[in-house]
Structure 1
Amino acid sequence: MAKDGPGGEKTEKPTPQRLKKARKDGQVPRTQELGTWLGAVAASFLLPAMVGRSYDGAQALFRQIGEVAERPDVAAIQVLLGQALSTFLAAALPLAAGVLVVGVLSSAAQGGIVFASKPLKPSLGKLNPFPGLKRMFGGHGLWETAKALIKTIAIGVAIGFTVDDAKMLVASSGSMPLGTVASVFTDSALMMLRVAALTGLVLAVADYMVVRMQSMKKLKMSHYEIKQEHKQQEGDPHVKGHRRAVMMAQARNRMMTDVTTADVLLTNPTHVAVALKYSSSFGAPRVVAKGSGEVARRLRELAAEHGVPQVRDIPLARALHGSCDIGQEIPPQLFTAVARVLAFVMQLGAKGIKGGVHQPGFTPPDTEGLPVAGRRRATPVAGGGTGA
């Protein structure tokens, strides 16, 4: 038994099936840092607008408070409280909505929105303290420590840039208008917030790369696991049935398309149908479509729609249907019989006759030793029809 289990050492990239299962289980690499710092950036631009609205709304409210104080009235007080609530919501909702949208977009950018119930299920393994200790003192813990140090340094640099302006402001605040003091303090605080947020964004991108690398490492597979997965997929009757149905549908569609360009359609006249096509690039005429029952009926309909001549030759149609697969050249034993049919079709074309159903009454071909389609014995055929 190898060190990574019975499957051997996990050195291979996860297969799409493993990634799909991991995503279903909620194992999507993502970092909370991205949403946090994008929210901080958004807040640094939305806060001034919120403060401005709050200031204007507060001024209007204070004027109304003075009016209500001069003429106290229950109805006026209720109106005042309603206006205070609407002013607060009008100022706070844009900020909350902006941060919410940024958080959702940041989550979607890290693998989309995933609803997984498995992480919420109770598990005794979550009570095991050793994985937590390993993360705390392992590589993950070192990375978290490094992130904290970088963020602290970034905030310190931002404070260093703004402290000189703050000192000058405090020293001369007595001779400056209150509005100027508030404006300088606001600008300094916003700059500090933006510097810290931009630094956090850089850290968030790096953290995402680290988290993704760790997640892909956990999902790595061994050669044995990959082989077992392939076996399970190949052996699944639903997968095999679906694959077979798709292949049959594709073959049927291709066959129905090929019959529209065939040179002739040989019929039984109603039980089987075989479409032939000849080209100078072929060694011999080929069967491009065939079928029985309902498939034969559809082939006759398509031949009639596209002007493909239909020749009723029961022995030849049965022999070709039973001995040839779609795309296969006719057997040498039937060369003479098929040549007579193609020559007959060429004569029709020379007379300007296109399509139609014809029964020239040729001599039956020699079919000794060839499998021949019959009326009672059903055999599967390519393209979804059945021979009989």
Structure 2
Amino acid sequence: MAQDGPGGEKTEKPTPQRLKKARKEGQIPRTQELGTWLGAVAASFLLPVMVGKSFDGARALFLQIGQVAERPDLEAVNRLLGQALTTFLMAVLPLAAGIMVVGVLSSAAQGGVVFASKPIKPTFSKINPFPGLKRMFGGHGLWETAKALIKTVAIGVAILLTVDDVQSLVASSGSMPLGTVASVFTDSALMMIRVAALTGLVLAVADYMVVRMQTMKKLKMSLYEIKQEHKQQEGDPHVKGHRRAVMLAQARNRMMTDVTTADVLLTNPTHVAVALKYSPAFGAPRVVAKGSGEVARRLRELAAEHGVPQVRDIPLARALHGSCDLGQEVPPQLFTAVARVLAFVMQLGTRGIRGGVHQPGFSPPDTTGLPVAGRRRVTPVAGGGTGAVDGVSAA
């Protein structure tokens, strides 16, 4: 088993967050071989175009050189030099641009173009010779040696495939036109470049797989690191629990304040309590406080202290507690039952009666389809204690 803690064994795959951070730091699996050999392939196709343009431009320049030699003129010489420079650039620029585009595309294909400053920052580990010696004589050094041998063999094979044609050409070059000799030499050189480049591309794919495997191995994480990252993203459970407890306490404090100005407190009579307040601006009565168990007991005490009438109506109290949240209007299905209670409380007010516990004995309301609060359910909570499920919850 992997040891948990800051020094735990790194056995887990890197998380997306770790990969994103590594990308910003420039830790992307890349091989320089791919750009090099793709550039060689591109050059093998662009070189004939460059050579053809160079010969055409040189032929035109040689004709103008003869004319300038017959009539020497400084302006003509400057014009000739300008044409020579333009011809050179027009021949070389396509090759240079093609190789540059291939290099950018090969880099983008290996993880995109990322500008990271961390790899170029001077650090002691970069000048420390021991890691360099380890890379030289370790697995990385063996792989680099194997790549060099494969490239040497590929170039040797390409030379062997073209040497016979070149030998026969040299032997009979005196009886052949210069253009034919140049064409055969060019074809042989291009064939040699392409064979070496194709072999190099196969080698580049293998090198990329090796580099990717090494990079992913370096980015592996321990279980402890994954847990810490999860805490940073989602928040520490202790902090979240404390924040939730604070929010719950604030909600209860607001609720305890609102019950002192409520119009009536409906009770179960002991398990559930729901405080209602009506104002023409509301449109319908609203639940301003509710709770069960200990919270219900505290609501009853506050109602008694501040002269809020308490009406014992078990079906209505349970229906309101189960179907309404804090600040929510009572459902239309209970309008009639709530209106009877409010009318009863208003009659008490006209007779000068404030507060008290009353049981008018109204007929039970129709609660079909409404969730109804039952008795308080006690469930175990962290720490070995118990907690009421049907209590107040913070929004």
Q: Output the TM-score relative to the length of structure 1.
A: 0.65
2:284 aligned to which of 297, 314, 332: 314
Deviations 1:219-254 (A, max 9, x none): 1111111112212223389xx8xxx9xxxxxxxxxx
Deviations 1:360-388 (A, max 9, x none): x9545699999xxxxxxxx9985xxxxxx
Q: Distance in 2 between matches of 1:205 and 1:232?
A: 37
- Secondary structure of the 2:113 match is coil
- Cα separation, partners in 2 of 1:101 and 1:339, compared to 1, 3 Å: same
- Cα separation, partners in 2 of 1:92 and 1:5, compared to 1, 3 Å: farther
Q: How far off is 1:154 after superposition?
A: 0.8
Q: How far off is 1:171 after superposition?
A: 1.2
Q: Distance in 2 between matches of 1:107 and 1:5?
A: 37
Unaligned runs of 5+ in 1: 245-310, 325-329, 343-360, 371-378, 383-388
- Secondary structure of the 2:61 match is helix
- Cα separation, partners in 2 of 1:140 and 1:4, compared to 1, 3 Å: farther
- Cα separation, partners in 2 of 1:141 and 1:5, compared to 1, 3 Å: farther
Tell me the C-alpha RMSD between the 2 structures.
3.4
- Cα separation, partners in 2 of 1:337 and 1:69, compared to 1, 3 Å: closer
- Cα separation, partners in 2 of 1:38 and 1:332, compared to 1, 3 Å: same
- The answer as to whether partners of 2:6 and 2:225 remain within 8 angstroms in 1 is no
- The answer as to whether partners of 1:173 and 1:181 remain within 8 angstroms in 2 is yes
Query: Residues 129-140 of structure 1 correspond to what in structure 2 (within 5 A)?
Result: 129-140=129-140
Q: Distance in 2 between matches of 1:323 and 1:331?
A: 10
Which residue of the partner structure matches residue 145 of structure 2? 145
- Cα separation, partners in 2 of 1:312 and 1:225, compared to 1, 3 Å: closer
Which residue of the partner structure matches residue 80 of structure 2? 80
Q: Distance in 2 between matches of 1:337 and 1:235?
A: 37
Q: Distance in 2 between matches of 1:211 and 1:39?
A: 20
Q: How far off is 1:22 after superposition?
A: 1.1
- Cα separation, partners in 2 of 1:129 and 1:3, compared to 1, 3 Å: farther
Q: How far off is 1:322 after superposition?
A: 5.3
Q: How far off is 1:4 after superposition?
A: 11
1:333 aligned to which of 305, 310, 319: 319
Q: How far off is 1:191 after superposition?
A: 0.3
Q: Output the TM-score relative to the length of structure 2.
A: 0.64
- Cα separation, partners in 2 of 1:88 and 1:323, compared to 1, 3 Å: farther
Which residue of the partner structure matches residue 46 of structure 2? 46
Q: How far off is 1:314 after superposition?
A: 2.8
Q: How far off is 1:6 after superposition?
A: 3.7
- The answer as to whether partners of 1:11 and 1:221 remain within 8 angstroms in 2 is yes
Deviates more, 1:123-132 or 1:227-236: 227-236
- Secondary structure of the 1:143 match is helix
Q: Distance in 1 between matches of 2:98 and 2:341?
A: 83
Which residue of the partner structure matches residue 7 of structure 1? 7
**Aligned-residue identity in percent:** 75
- Cα separation, partners in 2 of 1:180 and 1:312, compared to 1, 3 Å: same
Q: Distance in 1 between matches of 2:16 and 2:335?
A: 53
- Secondary structure of the 1:314 match is coil
Query: Residues 207-356 of structure 1 correspond to what in structure 2 (within 5 A)?
Result: 207-235=207-235, 313-315=283-285, 318-319=286-287, 332-334=318-320, 338-339=332-333
Unaligned runs of 5+ in 2: 245-280, 292-315, 324-329, 346-356, 359-371, 373-391
Q: Does 1:26 align with 2:26?
A: yes
Which residue of the partner structure matches residue 90 of structure 1? 90
Q: Does 1:124 align with 2:124?
A: yes
- Secondary structure of the 1:110 match is coil
Q: Distance in 2 between matches of 1:12 and 1:124?
A: 28
Which residue of the partner structure matches residue 355 of structure 1? none
User: What letter corresponds to residue 160 of structure 2 in structure 1?
Assistant: G
Q: Distance in 1 between matches of 2:70 and 2:191?
A: 43
- Secondary structure of the 2:105 match is helix
Q: How far off is 1:333 after superposition?
A: 3.0
Q: How far off is 1:126 after superposition?
A: 1.2
Q: Distance in 2 between matches of 1:19 and 1:198?
A: 32
- The answer as to whether partners of 2:5 and 2:224 remain within 8 angstroms in 1 is no
Which residue of the partner structure matches residue 67 of structure 2? 67
Q: Does 1:191 align with 2:191?
A: yes
Which residue of the partner structure matches residue 58 of structure 1? 58
- The answer as to whether partners of 1:4 and 1:10 remain within 8 angstroms in 2 is no
